[in-house]
Every structure is written in structure tokens, then in C-alpha cells.
């Protein structure tokens, strides 16, 4: 009988006897999460919960990488016009190189990639976190401090006007929060299930417009924007022209096939 790598992972979890006090990567499996302010469970995904297998695993946990392919990762700090873009750095097959199912943006595994805390150097800088193109990569799970959400749920929440304001140092204004953890991760079989957008590297780095005008050719996008001076492009729901407060950006995409 043929068993998929995803099935093997589930069996491994069972053999290890995972319980709520065992840890994989940077996330407790089976432990209810809060909204970062101690206000009870805030887990949410497309169906209202986040599967434990989508939690970020430790590097080396997936010797064969993601089932059926890999994702690439870029970081940047500038806004570009369509067809005239670049990124600060690109890592091909991030998931396979590091045998992992996501990215920790405070602890990126290639020193040339710029983490959020390496790009935002003022601990008092106030910023919001936005996600774009999540409708094309709905298998992603974003963790912000002690909260996990499906990326599409988080994107919709922010677009409804509920964007929290963060700092990397101790907040000085009421309601602001200190950001200490930021990750995006996927179930190991997310590619097989359409959970991450597929495109080609030059299409993302050059900022080709996606089929419906998406920024970065539809790659899953997370941006930190200056809370005091940002504007979203209504066509892309990402940072608008002329920078519009962009402080930091990361893109993830399934590196497969041609442009979206």
C-alpha cells in the first residue's frame, strides 16, 4: 500500500504520542491560543480552526519537503510599478532547503533574507500587518504573537478595518501591541490541495501583474506598513504607489509552471 508523505507525517505524530504539552517548531500543538492580549481562543481558519498539521515545524522536520513541490521566499522593502520590480533577496526552494513547511520572519534561515526586525530598526516604529492575494493561497496560516488565523480570514479582517497596530519595542500608546512572533506556514500537502499559489520566480520579482491585476503576480504577500502614513492601492490591496508607508515585505509562492 502506498502511503503519502503527508500520511507518514500523521503517523509520525501518532507514534510520538503528541499531546498538548509537546512542541513542534515554534507552536504548541493542541493548545488553545489567544488574541495576544489573553482574551481567550482566537484560532481561526477557513472553517473556524487551524489544523495542527499546518503549524510551523522546526527546520529539518520534513526531509522530503512539501508534498508535490516547494515554495520560494523573497523579502523586500520597496514598492514597484508593474513590470518594473525587484526584491531585496530571493531563496529558491526555501521549504526543501530547510525541510520546513513555512517561514518564521524573526528567524529566517538564510542570512541574506531580511527579517522584519532587521528591516524595521526603530523599536518605537508603529506599523500594521496586511496580507494580500490570500484568496489564491488560502491554505496559509499566519501566526501573530499568540494568535493563529487562516491567511484569508486575516486578510478579510484587516480589510474590514480591524488592523491592530504593532511595535517591535514596548508600546507607548494605548491599544498598541508588541510584535514578538510572526510566521506563515502550510500543511505539508498544501500544494496538492491548491493551498498556495503557483507561479514563476521572474514573474514575482519583476512584479508582473497577475491575471486579475494582483501585486507580485498573485504570490502570497505580507507587508508591514507605517501605521502613521500608509495607503493601500485599491486595485491590489497592497501598499500603494510611491512607497505608501511600506516598511517590509515578504512573498511566498509555489515555484511551478509559468506566470499566473
pLDDT of residue 75: 98
The CA-CA-CA angle for residues 176, 104, 61, to 5°, reads 145
Rounded Cα gap, residues 187 and 1, in angstroms = 23
pLDDT at 49: 60
Looking at the structure of the chain, the number of domains it has is 1
Residue 260 lies in a domain: no
Whole-angstrom distance between the N-terminal and C-terminal Cα of the chain? 36
What distances in angstroms separate CA 15 from CA 9, 11, 226, one per listed residue? 10, 6, 46
Answer whether residue 67 is part of any domain.
yes
Q: Residue 241: what pLDDT? A: 74
235, part of any domain: yes
pLDDT tens-digit series, residues 135-166: 999 999 999 999 999 999 999 999 999 999 99
Q: Is 64 within a domain?
A: yes
C-alpha of 59 from chain center: 16
Tell me the residue range of the domain where 102 lies. 5-255
CB-CB contact of 204 with 71 (8 Å) = no
Q: How big is the chain, counted in residues?
A: 260
pLDDT score recorded for residue 64: 87
- Beta pairing partners, 250: 75, 222
| Residues of the chain below pLDDT 50 | 1-48
25 lies in some domain? yes
In this structure, the strands spanning 246-255 and 198-199 are parallel
Amino acid at each position: 500500500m502506498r502511503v503519502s508523505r503527508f500520511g507518514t507525517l500523521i503517523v509520525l505524530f501518532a507514534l510520538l504520542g503528541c499531546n498538548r504539552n509537546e512542541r513542534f517548531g515554534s507552536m504548541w500543538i493542541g493548545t488553545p491560543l489567544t488574541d495576544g492580549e489573553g482574551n481567550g481562543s482566537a484560532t481561526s481558519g477557513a472553517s473556524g480552526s487551524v489544523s495542527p498539521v499546518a503549524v510551523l515545524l522546526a527546520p529539518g522536520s520534513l526531509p522530503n519537503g512539501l508534498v508535490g513541490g516547494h515554495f520560494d521566499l523573497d523579502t523586500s522593502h520597496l514598492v514597484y510599478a508593474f513590470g518594473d520590480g525587484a526584491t531585496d533577496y530571493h531563496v529558491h526552494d526555501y521549504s526543501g532547503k530547510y525541510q520546513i513547511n513555512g517561514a518564521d520572519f524573526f528567524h529566517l534561515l538564510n542570512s541574506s533574507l531580511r527579517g522584519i526586525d532587521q528591516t524595521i530598526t526603530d523599536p518605537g516604529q508603529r506599523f500594521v500587518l496586511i496580507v494580500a492575494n490570500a484568496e489564491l493561497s488560502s491554505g496559509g496560516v499566519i501566526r501573530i504573537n499568540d494568535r493563529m488565523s487562516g491567511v484569508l480570514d486575516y486578510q478579510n479582517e484587516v480589510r474590514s478595518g480591524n488592523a491592530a497596530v504593532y511595535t517591535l519595542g514596548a508600546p507607548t500608546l494605548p491599544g498598541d501591541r508588541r510584535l514578538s512572533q510572526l510566521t506563515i506556514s502550510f500543511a505539508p500537502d498544501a500544494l496538492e490541495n491548491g493551498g498556495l499559489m503557483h507561479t514563476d520566480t521572474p514573474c514575482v520579482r519583476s512584479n508582473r501583474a497577475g491575471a486579475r491585476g494582483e501585486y507580485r503576480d498573485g504570490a502570497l504577500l505580507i507587508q508591514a506598513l507605517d501605521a502613521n502614513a500608509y495607503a493601500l492601492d485599491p486595485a491590489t490591496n497592497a501598499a500603494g504607489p510611491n512607497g505608501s508607508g511600506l516598511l517590509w515585505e515578504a512573498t511566498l509562492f509555489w515555484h511551478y509552471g509559468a506566470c499566473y
